[in-house]
Structure 1
Amino acid sequence: MSEDKIQDPKQFEASLQALETLVDQLERGDLTLEESLAAFEQGIRLSRGCQQALETAEQRIRILSEASDQAEPEPFSGTADRAQSD
């Protein structure tokens, strides 16, 4: 998985699981320096992708949950009305 946008919840879950696996490998300490650096680099990419997905979800939730008390329904004016006023 790359740094691309994570849009599918299953992709997010897979990225998160892969990140947890990398952290476990790094914590065990049995990787070579080169392997550790590669795992760390991959972990950064995964972390950024997950963070971006969470920020997008948070923004969507914020937009959906904001109630606009000032919004009033307006009658729909058809295209015929619009054409006459132009």
Structure 2
Amino acid sequence: MAETKPIEEMSYKEASQELERIIRSLESGDLELEESLEGYTRGVELLKSLRSRLAAAEQKVSVLMKDVDGTETLVAAAPADDSDALRL
């Protein structure tokens, strides 16, 4: 795999796009074993980061929700859909 940017320096969109590229390359079956393992490891790290960021965003939305009289009320957000989980 090519030189990669540190995950913590990537935007959500950049990390998501890199994860998509990794998944496509793994699914192609054209990689050597070492490249596949490296890609899989990077993909898992990206997925963890993306899920963490999404959970943090969901928490912020929950905190910002207020009821009609202006008192702060924590309203649990629906959990993120993880049906796109990395399954290899």
Normalising by structure 2, what TM-score?
0.67
Matches within 5 A, 1:1-86: 1-2=6-7, 4=8, 11-67=11-67, 69=69, 71=71
Describe the superposition over 1:30-62 as per-residue Cα deviations: whole angstroms up to 9, x where unpaired. Answer: 000100000000001100100000000000001
Which sections of structure 1, spanning at least 5 residues, go unmatched? 72-86
Which sections of structure 2, spanning at least 5 residues, go unmatched? 1-5, 72-88
> Which segments of structure 1 move beyond 6 Å, counting only runs of 4 or more?
none
Which structure is higher in RCO with an 8 Å CA cutoff and minimum separation 6? 1
The one-letter code sitting in structure 2 at the alignment partner of 1:27 is E
More helix by share: 1
Alignment length (residue pairs): 66
Percent identity, aligned pairs only?
A: 32
